[in-house]
Amino acid sequence: MPEKPQRTKTLAQQVRWQLLWLGGGLLIACLLLLFIFTWHAAELATNSLMKLEAQSLLHQTTKNPGLALPQGESFSAYRQWQEVPESLKQHFNRSLIDRGEIIEVIIDDREKETEYLYFLHHIDDDDYGEIFLFNRYSASEVDEYFSAFLNTALNQAIWLALIIFCLLFFLVSWLIRRTTEPLQLLSQWAISLGRHPEQSLDINFSIEELNEIAMQLRGSVDRIRAFNQREQQFLKHASHELRTPLSIIQASLDTLDLQNHQATQPIVKRALKASSSMIRLSSTLLWLAREPKSPIGKSEVDIHQLCQQVIDDHRYLLKNRKISIQTRIAIDTLLIEGDLFSIVLSNLLKNAFQHSVNGAIRVDISNHSLQISNPIKAENSDEIDASTSGFGLGLQLVQRICLQQDWQFSFSNETRQVVATVSWCRRT
């Protein structure tokens, strides 16, 4: 199953998404810590309040020894453990009571409402002595006040956390924009360099590393331009140097052909074919190497004659092998770029003749496609493809022509069979 192409993003988008995920995770962690902290803060506030009440009560009794300690239903205080009523003592074990620790006990009475009983044994060694404090509240009141306190604290903490995170987000977004802005300028500079490589563009970015990258890009583009200019100059000279002697050879062969010497006539005919093929091939190679390429006109090609001529020209490659050639041509003429089609057909047939084993080579030509198939050895099946040295040289030229002409070229290596297909138009 083909892999799904990965969606590309800009650097700013990538950093922004990572920042959002990181910020979301930190926000959730922060809210969880705030909840835990608020819960412990509520318990700490309750403990601190009871200790403050104990210190205040001891301070009052020290100033006024005759002051009666409170003995109410919800709040009561005692100087000695023996003074504590049995109704309160029964809920606590005296030996387990630590000084200064607040102990909570839940009193669950089926006849009465559930209550919370808090106990504090407070001792001040300096001035006031010790005191036993008891706070008694109904469960509904405790839950109500504790929930109100917890909700208020949590709401304030959440709003504060959101404000801080929003400020941090805008600050980091501003930093990201400031950081990626030079990269965007470098991208725009590179686009301008690609469109107008001959222009001298200033390299003046605020980040030194970007200046180094821009200088490397500038140097690479200059080297490629210089190389292309040398190649274009070489093609101009090569075009003249190749065409002139080929034209002389062609003219000389035409002269010999007109003299009509019976003894040399077959040799001259073969030389004329080879010369024409060389002229056509060299022109095509120069055309492929030239930028920009001028369009090649179409002409009516006699498919039967061309196919038979190419087969006859390469039949010598089939010596000492039992190979038959089966042609199935569905049309008589074809309107197409004649020289390019002739080169494609010649290279594909030549490859098939060279690498085929005993059997049948099939050539199918229709109004929209050309297909050539030939048998190969089973042990060579996994080694043959369009990029091997034996097949690749001719097929690379075919691929270049098909790519330039927007023809569809395919090369498949099936079991003991190689199939090459060229399509120059699609079925309607």
Please give the pLDDT value at position 202. 76
Residue 5 CA to residue 322 CA, distance in Å, equals 48
Can you tell me the mean pLDDT for 348-364?
88
Please give the pLDDT value at position 389. 38
Please give the pLDDT value at position 388. 40
Residue with tokens 């001298």: 200
Residue 348 CA to residue 419 CA, distance in Å, equals 10
pLDDT tier, 261 (very low <50, low <70, confident <90, very high otherwise):
low
Give per-residue pLDDT as tens, 323-349: 899 999 999 999 998 888 888 898 898
**pLDDT of residue 73 exceeding 80:** no
Can you tell me the mean pLDDT for 373-402?
65
- What number of other Cβ atoms are within 10 A of residue 411's Cβ? 19
Residue 337 CA to residue 178 CA, distance in Å, equals 55
Give per-residue pLDDT as tens, 297-312: 888 999 999 899 888 8
Q: How many whole angstroms from its chain centre is CA 345?
A: 41
Residue 7 CA to residue 177 CA, distance in Å, equals 22
**pLDDT of residue 391 exceeding 60:** no
In terms of pLDDT, which residue wins out, 148 or 242?
Answer: 148
Residues counted in the chain: 428
Residue 133 CA to residue 77 CA, distance in Å, equals 5
Give per-residue pLDDT as tens, 122-179: 777 666 677 788 877 777 777 777 777 777 777 877 787 788 878 877 887 787 777 7
- The pTM assigned to this predicted structure is 0.46
Can you tell me the mean pLDDT for 109-130?
72
- Amino acid sitting at position 288: L
Q: Identify the CA nearest to 135 among candidates 113, 115, 111.
A: 115
**pLDDT of residue 390 exceeding 60:** no
**pLDDT of residue 364 exceeding 90:** yes
Please give the pLDDT value at position 319. 83
Please give the pLDDT value at position 1. 44
pLDDT tier, 201 (very low <50, low <70, confident <90, very high otherwise):
confident
pLDDT tier, 110 (very low <50, low <70, confident <90, very high otherwise):
low
Residue 16 CA to residue 180 CA, distance in Å, equals 11
**pLDDT of residue 108 exceeding 80:** no
CATH class label, 298-423: alpha beta
Supply the DSSP string of 2-30, one letter for each residue.
PPPPPPP--HHHHHHHHHHHHHHHHHHHH
Q: Domain extents for the chain? A: 66-140, 208-284, 298-423
Please give the pLDDT value at position 272. 67
- What number of other Cβ atoms are within 10 A of residue 204's Cβ? 10
Residue 301 CA to residue 324 CA, distance in Å, equals 25
Please give the pLDDT value at position 199. 75
pLDDT tier, 203 (very low <50, low <70, confident <90, very high otherwise):
confident
Burial bucket for residue 197 (CB in 10 Å: 0-12, 13-18, 19+) = middle
Supply the DSSP string of 224-290, one letter for each residue.
HHHHHHHHHHHHHHHHHHHHHHHHHHHHHHHHHHHHT-TTTHHHHHHHHHHHHHHHHHHHHHHHHHS
